[in-house]
């Protein structure tokens, strides 16, 4: 078991390069199932979640080559076989359920184990299944297994009760090869959905409106192999923005699509952080006085739930009262207990956290209760007095590549040790 140790108090300076978005790369890898040609995905961060999805495709008899030189993935799914419902890899990661859409499109059949809950909420899949049924699939659930089959998928109009990212992506992938037109209404507008659609369009799919609440897909007969570079990771970039803010530092972040980060940037500006934008980099000046703020997480373009824990670390040390309301996941306040161990003053009432800023946090032993909560612990550790020891860091490795190296290069006192 490994842990990350942060000694607080160092100012940060210099620049950091942002990797490609985990939440783009995962569905894009899965979407290669739709086409038997070779696909090259450039600049793929070799995160733990990416390893899991690559191992899953390997298990399904696909060829995957990982180039260590430019981190490109070459994937050939020509000889893919139907998924084994009992695969441990599918059970291991919720995003694996995204293979159902492309598998249904390619084989007219897919059987998978139901994804379990996770630390941040129950995370059902009813909307994914509603979409497959609307496209003409028979869907049966029993003994923890979902089985979907269709002689052929036929386009339909699908309204999502909630703009779920995963459901939008799964239905999008199922419908690109379906007969006729599919319309997804109240679709997720997240940049990663747009990126997946852009990838599919480059392969020859006919998709209009991705990145808005209404996506129109005209089914095509086949797709072709391509080379593709996914977008930058807005959540990784956002985490470094908060690192500058929390340490009263100025840093340059390379690999930022400022539009994707607007919901976070606007809130940080309200706090008193200054941004200078230039092409695809941004300078974040967190040296000024900071004000408390109120935040409500929402589907994009609202404030991202994946930035909520990191923002809580920052608000913990801003003088005054801040409020965070979490509307996307029902149980995403696990980090509050960990921040409390470090001296923060936060009260929870249902989905709302009331934060009273304290002057300083104190380092101690904490846990990464989930991926973004782990990032929040690193951020809190950067300004805490003394040593913060973060356990369960496998969560952090799911979504941040070379995390301690990136922070160390900025001047943080941070190391990873084996227990
Ligand atoms: C994706 C992201 C995750 C992010 C989340 C919300 C990936 C790999 N992960 O997760 O980092 O935190 O979007 O931005 O891209 N829901 C239903 N029924 C469904 C599906 C979802 O009720 O069929 C609910 C969930 O329980 C949750 C909400 O919708 O409360 C949002 O979930 P969703 O947008 O689907 O998140 P994921 O795709 O799992």
18-42 pLDDT, tens digit each = 999 999 999 999 999 999 999 999 9
- Residue in the structure block whose two tokens are 């009813």: 126
Nearest atom in ligand 1 to the alpha carbon of residue 169 is 38
For the chain, give the percent of residues with pLDDT over 90. 89
With the most atoms of ligand 1 within 8 angstroms of its CB, the residue from 28, 166, 374 to mutate is 166
126 labeled part of a ligand binding site: yes
Which tokens sit at 98? 């995204």
Name the phi and psi angles at 334, rounded to 5.
-60, -30
Residue 70: predicted pLDDT: 81
pLDDT tens digit string along 126-168? 999 999 999 999 999 998 889 999 999 999 999 999 999 999 9
pLDDT of 122 > 70? The answer is: no
∠ CA 167-20-216, rounded to 5°: 35
- Cβ of 318 closer than 6 Å to ligand 1, yes or no, is no
- Beta-bridged to residue 323, according to DSSP, are 294, 354
At 94, the pLDDT band (50, 70, 90 cuts) reads confident
Nearest atom in ligand 1 to the alpha carbon of residue 192 is 15
Q: How far is CA 173 from the centre of its chain?
A: 18
- Cβ of 329 closer than 6 Å to ligand 1, yes or no, is yes
What Å distances lie between residue 223 and 37, 83, 176, 177, 199, CA to CA?
8, 21, 9, 8, 11
367 labeled part of a ligand binding site: no
Q: At a CB cut-off of 8 Å and minimum separation 6, what does 388 contact?
A: 5, 6, 7, 8, 342, 363, 364, 365, 366, 377, 380, 381
Taking CA atoms only, the protein residue closest to ligand 1 atom 13 is 165
- Residue in the structure block whose two tokens are 């990464």: 368
Taking CA atoms only, the protein residue closest to ligand 1 atom 17 is 124
- Cβ of 125 closer than 6 Å to ligand 1, yes or no, is yes
Do residues 58 and 229 touch, judged by C-beta distance below 8 A? Answer: no
Taking phi over 0 as left and psi of -120 to 50 as alpha, with beta for the rest, 278 belongs to beta
3-state secondary structure of 147: strand
- Cβ of 133 closer than 6 Å to ligand 1, yes or no, is no
The four Cα atoms 313, 315, 318, 323 give a dihedral, to 10 degrees, of -150
* Helices (H), ranges, 95-226: 100-107, 126-134, 165-175, 191-202
Taking CA atoms only, the protein residue closest to ligand 1 atom 11 is 306
306 labeled part of a ligand binding site: yes
Is 118 a catalytic site residue?
yes
Nearest atom in ligand 1 to the alpha carbon of residue 122 is 26
- Beta-bridged to residue 7, according to DSSP, are 387, 413
124 labeled part of a ligand binding site: yes
Residue 25: predicted pLDDT: 97
Range 43-63 burial, b when 16+ CB lie within 10 A, else e: bbbebbbbebbbebbeebebe
pLDDT of 113 > 90? The answer is: no
- Cβ of 239 closer than 6 Å to ligand 1, yes or no, is no
Annotated active-site residue in 118, 271, 281, 364: 118
At 90, the pLDDT band (50, 70, 90 cuts) reads confident
With the most atoms of ligand 1 within 8 angstroms of its CB, the residue from 328, 335, 396, 399 to mutate is 328
Q: Which of 261, 211, 259 is nearest to 236 (CA)?
A: 261
What Å distances lie between residue 349 and 120, 198, 320, 341, 355, CA to CA?
16, 41, 18, 19, 11
Residues 207, 182: Cα–Cα separation, whole Å:
9
DSSP code of residue 171? H
Q: How far is CA 356 from the centre of its chain?
A: 28
Axis crossing angle, helix 165-175 with helix 191-202, rounded to the nearest 10 = 10
Nearest atom in ligand 1 to the alpha carbon of residue 26 is 8
With the most atoms of ligand 1 within 8 angstroms of its CB, the residue from 29, 112, 123 to mutate is 123
341 C-alpha to ligand 1 centroid (Å):
29
307 C-alpha to ligand 1 centroid (Å):
14
Residues 204, 191: Cα–Cα separation, whole Å:
20
pLDDT tens digit string along 304-341? 999 999 999 999 999 999 999 999 998 899 999 999 99
Taking CA atoms only, the protein residue closest to ligand 1 atom 1 is 165
Residues 310, 121: Cα–Cα separation, whole Å:
18
- Residue in the structure block whose two tokens are 């409020």: 323
274 C-alpha to ligand 1 centroid (Å):
31
- Is the whole-model pTM more than 0.85? yes
With residue 390 as reference, give the H or E element that holds it: strand 387-391
Taking CA atoms only, the protein residue closest to ligand 1 atom 21 is 164
At 93, the pLDDT band (50, 70, 90 cuts) reads confident
Q: At a CB cut-off of 8 Å and minimum separation 6, what does 38 contact?
A: 74, 75, 76, 225
- Cβ of 216 closer than 6 Å to ligand 1, yes or no, is no
For the chain, give the percent of residues with pLDDT over 70. 98
- Burial of residue 134 (CB within 10 Å: 0-12, 13-18, 19+) is buried
Nearest atom in ligand 1 to the alpha carbon of residue 123 is 26
3-state secondary structure of 320: coil
Residues 296, 304: Cα–Cα separation, whole Å:
9
């Amino acid at each position: 078991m490994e842990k990350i140790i942060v000694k607080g108090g160092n100012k940060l300076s210099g620049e950091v390069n942002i990797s490609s978005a985990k939440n783009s790369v995962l569905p894009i890898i899965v979407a290669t199932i739709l086409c038997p040609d070779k696909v090259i995905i450039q600049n793929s961060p070799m995160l733990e979640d990416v390893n899991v999805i690559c191992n899953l495709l390997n298990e399904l008899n696909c060829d995957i080559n990982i180039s260590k030189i430019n981190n490109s993935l070459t994937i050939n799914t020509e000889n893919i076989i139907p998924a084994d419902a009992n695969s441990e890899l599918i059970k291991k990661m919720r995003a694996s359920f995204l293979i159902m859409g492309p598998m249904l499109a390619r084989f007219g059949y897919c059987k998978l184990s139901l994804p379990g809950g996770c630390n941040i909420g129950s995370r059902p899949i009813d909307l994914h299944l509603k979409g497959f049924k609307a496209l003409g699939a028979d869907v049966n659930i029993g003994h923890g297994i979902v089985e979907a089959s269709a002689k052929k998928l036929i386009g339909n109009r699908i309204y999502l009760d909630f703009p779920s990212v995963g459901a939008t992506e799964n239905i999008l992938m199922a419908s690109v090869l379906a007969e006729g037109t599919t319309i997804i209404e109240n679709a997720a507008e997240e940049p990663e959905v747009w990126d997946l659609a852009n990838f599919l369009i480059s392969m020859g799919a006919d998709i209009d409106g991705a990145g808005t609440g209404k996506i129109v897909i005209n089914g095509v007969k086949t797709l072709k192999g391509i080379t593709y570079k996914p977008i930058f990771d807005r959540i990784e970039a956002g985490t470094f923005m908060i690192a500058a803010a929390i340490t009263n530092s100025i840093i340059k972040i390379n690999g930022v699509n400022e539009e994707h980060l607007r919901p976070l940037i606007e809130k940080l500006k309200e706090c008193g952080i200054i941004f200078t934008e230039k092409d695809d980099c941004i300078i974040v000046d967190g040296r000024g006085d900071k004000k408390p703020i109120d935040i409500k997480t929402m589907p994009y373009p609202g404030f991202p739930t994946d930035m909520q824990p990191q923002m809580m670390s920052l608000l913990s040390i801003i003088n005054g009262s801040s409020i965070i309301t979490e509307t996307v996941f029902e149980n995403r306040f696990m980090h509050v207990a960990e921040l409390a161990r470090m001296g923060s003053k936060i009260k929870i009432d249902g989905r709302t956290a009331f934060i009273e800023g304290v002057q300083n946090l104190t380092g101690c032993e904490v846990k990464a209760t989930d991926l973004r909560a782990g990032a929040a612990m690193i951020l809190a550790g950067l300004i805490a007095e003394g040593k913060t020891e973060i356990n369960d860091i496998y969560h952090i490795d799911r979504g941040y590549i070379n995390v301690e190296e990136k922070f160390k290069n900025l001047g943080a006192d941070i190391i990873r040790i084996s227990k």
